[in-house]
Amino acid sequence: MRTLLLLSALLLPRAVRAARPEPLMTVEARAVRPGEILLVSVDGQDPKTPPEATFQDRALDFFPGSSTGTWLAFLGLDLETPAGPAALHAVLRDAGRRATRQTLTLNVEPAAFPVQELQVAQKFVTPPKTDSERAESEAVKLHKLFVRGEEKRLFEGRFDSPIPGAASSRFGERRIFNGQPRAPHSGMDLKARLGTPVRAPAAGRVVLADSLFFQGKTIILDHGLGLTTLYAHLSRIQVKPGDLVKKGQIIGKVGATGRATGPHLHWALKYKAARVDPFSLAFLDLDARLKSHAPDPLKRSPACERADLPPAPPWGKTSGGLRARTRPLQTSYARGGIVSMLVEFQNVSKKNAFLDLVLDPALRATTLGFNRAPQPYTTLASSMTARLSVTQVKIPPGKTLCFEQDRDAGGPLLASGTSYELVYGTEFLYASTAAARAGIWRGRLVSRPAKIAITTASATAP
């Protein structure tokens, strides 16, 4: 039975709460104890300003969730984290950028890790000098891989177990090899038969696929945002460094290579430098926070449902059965402020149109241009990256795709002019009766200029 630990902080005065909903900070976790990863969520935050928070003098790195105004951050409690109360301090800003300070005290429970005695080949306990030097060199290499990760999020939602096997040894166990104590076990050992397929628990990039002294044949996946997973003692490696893998893709097979007493999978997780139980991450319902649950898949932003938007401008010229228009989310912006545009593509033909929508707004900007030509992205369209970074959207006849965008091919879209015209690149548009990436649509979508007013207020004013 899943039990969710949920802590929240809501500390503004009642008078302020009545005037404007204040941001709400919550913490979700399987438990608050050493070796656990926690998910910090802030709802109602200014959508363009990430929260500021610290825990035990370490800053949290927030990233946007699927809902406008929702920001998320991971907090890793290393298995050596001391028990006792610890404060999570935050500075949050509501939609009007009014700042509030919130503090949430987390009571870190003590963890009692068991002790396990194992018998292995003596060379893995007291290796010869050459093997010892090799192991030390590999340890340094692994540390660098863990602390220098991909800054962007590569995973799309929940993490799954790489194999269905039960645990044969627990995270954090204090191990004694041939009578000699060693460092605590920083992963989970899962029972499995030799040759059992190992699947990626989430999308990521292969940063290591090699044979190591202690770990044997090993794969490390970088999932972005500081999350890195390791798979050791494999009998076979089926990926290579640099590969982008999808969730569920087979990356290797269970074995007994390296320091192992029999076939099993050693699955480990690090959040930055923190050693945490990978099943504490699999426990978190990241789908609910990272995947859009809009009833209409063509409406990719909550702004598509807003009734207070500025009037819609006329559609641009029809090209290949499609036409486009843009409108700002506000009628006026402070000079130099970031302009958010609602982009709409309408299918006026009698055939379905398919569009590979780039998920990351920063990457999507390469296919969009406001008062400029978009940059080509042929490398994305023709590689594995496309299948990880885009989602294919079907636009039926008479229907409209709507999404929000505040960047163009040159960076943030700033209020420096009074009108903005969209030019959309066509690498990701397909005219076909089947949802296959075939029959590339040839044309050019150009919107009518969208008008805004620029005020004399400073964009950085509170």
270-289 pLDDT per residue, tens: 999 899 999 899 999 998 88
Run of H or E residues at 86: strand 84-93
- What confidence score (pLDDT) does residue 304 get? 87
Please, which pLDDT band fits residue 75 given cuts at 50, 70 and 90?
A: very high
* 371, 420 contact by CB (below 8 A): yes
The residue among 56, 81, 111 that closes a domain is 111
Do 138 and 47 reside in the same domain of the chain?
A: no
Please, which pLDDT band fits residue 84 given cuts at 50, 70 and 90?
A: very high
3-class DSSP state of 368: strand
Identify the residue whose tokens are 């999020």: 153
Do 120 and 236 reside in the same domain of the chain?
A: yes
Instruction: Assign residue 342 the CATH number of its domain.
Output: 2.60.40
Examine residue 296 and state whether it is found in any structural domain, yes or no.
Answer: no
- The CA distance from 261 to 32, in Å, is 32
Instruction: Assign residue 231 the CATH number of its domain.
Output: 2.70.70.10
Look at 6-20, 312-326, 332-346, 413-427 and tell me which has the smallest mean pLDDT: 6-20
Structural domain that includes position 46: 5-111
Examine residue 21 and state whether it is found in any structural domain, yes or no.
Answer: yes
Count of structural domains, the chain:
3
Please, which pLDDT band fits residue 135 given cuts at 50, 70 and 90?
A: low
What is the pLDDT averaged over residues 384-404? Answer: 76
pLDDT of 364 strictly over 90: no
- What confidence score (pLDDT) does residue 2 get? 53
The Cα diameter of the chain in Å comes to: 79
pLDDT of 361 strictly over 80: no
- The CA distance from 132 to 331, in Å, is 67
Sheet holding 322-328, edge to edge: 322-328, 341-347, 400-405
The residue among 79, 111, 143 that closes a domain is 111
